[in-house]
Amino acid sequence: MSTLQQRQQSRGLNCERASSGESIQPPIAAIAAIAAIAAIAAAAAVAAVATVATVATVAMTAPGAAATRVPPHARSTRLDLLSQRLGHDFTDRALLRQAMVHRSFLNENPSEALESNERMEFLGDAILDAVISRRLYDDYPSAAEGWLTEVRSLLVRNDTLADLAHACELGRYIVMGKGVEAQDGRNRPAILGRTFEAVLGAVYMDAGWPAVERVIFRALADQLQAIAIAGLERDPKSLLQQACQAEWHATPSYRTVEELGPAHEREFRVEVRVNGETLGDGEGHSKQAAEKAAAEVALRALPAGAIP
Helices vs. strands in the chain: H and E counts, helices first: 15, 3
Side-chain half-sphere CA neighbours of 234 within 13 A: 10
Rounded to 5 degrees, φ, ψ at 23 are: -70, 130
Give the residues of the chain that fall short of pLDDT 50.
Answer: 2-74
Task: Please state, as a whole number, how many other Cβ atoms lie within 10 Å of the Cβ of residue 186.
Answer: 19
Residue-level pLDDT at 37: 36
The string of pLDDT tens digits covering residues 116-139 is 999 999 999 999 999 999 999 888
Catalytic residue among 22, 89, 118, 125: 125
Give residue 43's pLDDT. 36
The pLDDT of residue 129 is: 97
Please confirm, yes or no, whether 222 is among the known catalytic residues: no
| Rounded Cα distance, 141 and 162, in Å | 29
pLDDT digits (tens, 9 = 90+) for 31-60: 333 333 333 333 333 233 333 333 334 343
Type of residue found at 97: R
Q: What is the DSSP letter of 259?
A: E
- Exposure of 225 by Cβ count < 10 A (0-12 exposed, 13-18 middle, 19+ buried)? exposed
Q: Map out the domains of the chain with their CATH numbers.
A: 3-229 (1.10.1520.10), 236-301 (3.30.160.20)
Known catalytic residue: 197?
A: yes
Rg (CA), the chain: 27
Q: Is 274 exposed, middle or buried (0-12, 13-18, 19+ CB in 10 A)?
A: buried
Is the distance from CB of 132 to CB of 153 less than 8 angstroms? no
> Which residues partner with 175 through β-bridges?
101
Query: Which residue in the list 118, 139, 184, 197 is annotated as catalytic?
Result: 197
* Per-residue confidence (pLDDT) for residue 73, from 0 to 100: 40
pLDDT of amino acid 117: 93
- For residue 180, count other CB atoms closer than 10 A to its CB: 20
Q: Are strands 267-274 and 277-284 parallel, antiparallel or unpaired?
A: antiparallel
Q: Which of 32, 273, 55 is nearest to 173 (CA)?
A: 55
